[in-house]
């Protein structure tokens, strides 16, 4: 619920019981609940879990977020599966369907929507060991807390910059690695960010990107992206690493994807990871510069840890550069 990649979206939970697990502070990925609303079958007001925990009910109430229960969520999921992701509205005040439909028509489509400006930090900040020789400049397009933690846990000093920071300003901090984060919205709607990512790739420093950052790297490399009929959401998506032949269970949260045909015809990009359910692009690597990216979330928390090695690879690239 706190992943900035979910900003402005209504989340449908097909699992029957939601909330009985509670909320743990250390698992919160940003400063607030990012979803616009929650749709559930059963919403538990009581949480039972080892350790310090708040109830999900209390968390939503404190944040002023709407949640609706007693919905046949599995039927709703089947409808979305067939009809595709769509705009929706939850109302506690207006019951007239015609009025709600008119309100819904005013909601912008995700395609063409730039949302990084809404979720990005307003001020740059630093975390990690002050005297570290590994200095990572991270562009915040909606960065998750655990991504930063995965970098600092590996000894990196990380400076997180607002989404509209120029490459020159990031380089003035004297980093030896560049990271482009996850985030919400259509990557093609932010050409000014793509232009800065292109400069970062050309800097000669090792580059790593996740999710929206991956898509920005693809666009900066001459590839294109498109909106999927249904995005990938969940913590059990199978991906194959084409360079090792190994399979990975991954956490994914995206509605746009890099066009496979562009990767196959590119002269300087190779496919490194592929989604095994629908054969879409899950990871790429530049052959001419030290740059790679993945569509999924190797930092997943909670979720599988199969892909944490990607952070190790990035740190190794920095050390060997």
| 109-166 pLDDT, tens digit each | 899 999 999 999 999 999 999 999 999 999 999 999 999 999 999 999 999 999 999 9
pLDDT of residue 264: 97
Q: Name the token pair of 54.
A: 């708040």
| 268-304 pLDDT, tens digit each | 999 999 999 999 999 999 999 999 999 999 998 777 8
pLDDT of residue 94: 86
Mean of pLDDT values over 246-254 = 96
CATH 3.50.30.20 in the chain is located at: 4-105
- Residue keyed to tokens 């709607």: 189
- Residue keyed to tokens 């990975």: 248
Other residues' Cβ atoms within 10 Å of the Cβ of residue 311: 20
Q: Name the token pair of 35.
A: 């979803």
Mean of pLDDT values over 236-257 = 97
3-state SS, the chain, equals CCCHHHCCCEEECCCCEECCCCECHHHCCCCCCCCCEEECCEECCCCCCCCCCECHHHHHHHHCCEEECCCCHHHHHHHHHHHCCCCCCCCCCCCCHHHHHHHHHCCCCCCCCECHHHHCCCCCEEECCCCCCCEEEEECCCCCHHHHHHHHCCCCEEEEECCCCCHHHHHCCCCCEEEECCCCECHHHCHHHHHHHHHHHHCCCCEEEECHHHHHHHHHCCCCEEEEEEEEEEEEEEEEECCCCCEEEEEEEEEEEECHHHHHHCCCEEEEEEECCCCCEEEEEECCCCEEEECCECCCCCCCCCCCHHHHHHHHHHHHC
- Residue keyed to tokens 């991504």: 147
- Which residues are known catalytic residues? 211, 297, 299
Query: Exposed, middle or buried: residue 108 (CB in 10 Å: 0-12, 13-18, 19+)?
Result: exposed
pLDDT of residue 301: 75
Given 3.50.30.20, 1.10.3720.10, 3.30.365.10, 3.30.450.20, which CATH number is that of 4-105? 3.50.30.20
| 9-68 pLDDT, tens digit each | 999 998 888 988 888 888 889 989 999 999 999 988 888 877 667 888 889 999 999 999
CATH architecture of 116-320: 3-Layer(aba) Sandwich (3.40)
How do beta strands 281-286 and 291-294 pair? antiparallel
- Which residues, listed in sequence order, are joined to residue 138 by a DSSP beta bridge? 160, 179
pLDDT of residue 52: 61
| 3-21 pLDDT, tens digit each | 999 999 999 998 888 988 8
Please work out, in degrees rounded to the nearest 5, the angle formed at the alpha carbon of residue 113 by the alpha carbons of 18 and 225: 95
């Amino acid at each position: 619920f706190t992943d900035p990649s979910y900003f402005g979206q209504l989340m449908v939970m097909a699992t029957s019981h939601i909330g009985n697990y509670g909320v743990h502070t250390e698992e919160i990925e940003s400063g607030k609940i990012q979803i616009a609303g929650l749709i559930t079958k059963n919403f538990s007001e009581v949480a039972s879990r080892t350790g310090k925990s708040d109830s999900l009910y209390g968390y939503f109430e404190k944040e002023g977020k709407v949640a609706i229960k007693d919905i046949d969520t599995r039927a709703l999921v089947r409808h979305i599966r067939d009809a595709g992701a769509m705009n929706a509205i939850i109302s506690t005040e207006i019951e007239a369907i015609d009025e709600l439909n008119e309100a819904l028509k005013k909601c912008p489509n995700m395609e063409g929507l730039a949302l990084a400006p809404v979720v990005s930090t307003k001020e740059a900040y630093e975390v990690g060991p002050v005297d570290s020789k590994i200095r990572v400049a991270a562009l915040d397009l909606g960065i998750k807390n655990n991504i930063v933690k995965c970098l600092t846990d590996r000894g990196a000093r990380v400076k997180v910059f607002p989404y509209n920071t120029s490459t020159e300003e990031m380089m003035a901090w004297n980093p030896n690695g560049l990271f482009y984060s996850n985030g919400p919205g259509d990557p093609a709607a932010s050409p000014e960010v793509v232009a800065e990512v292109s400069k970062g790739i050309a800097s000669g420093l090792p580059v790593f990107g996740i999710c929206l950052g991956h898509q920005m790297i693809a666009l900066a490399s001459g590839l294109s992206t498109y909106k999927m009929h249904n995005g990938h959401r969940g913590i059990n998506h199978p991906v194959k690493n084409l360079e090792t032949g190994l399979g990975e269970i991954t956490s994914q949260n995206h509605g746009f994807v890099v066009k496979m045909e562009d990767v196959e015809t590119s002269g300087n990009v190779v496919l490194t990871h592929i989604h095994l359910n629908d054969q879409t692009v899950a990871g790429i690597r530049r052959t001419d510069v030290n740059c790679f990216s993945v569509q999924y979330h190797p930092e997943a928390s909670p979720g599988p840890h199969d892909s944490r090695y990607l952070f190790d690879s990035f740190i190794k690239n920095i050390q060997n550069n």
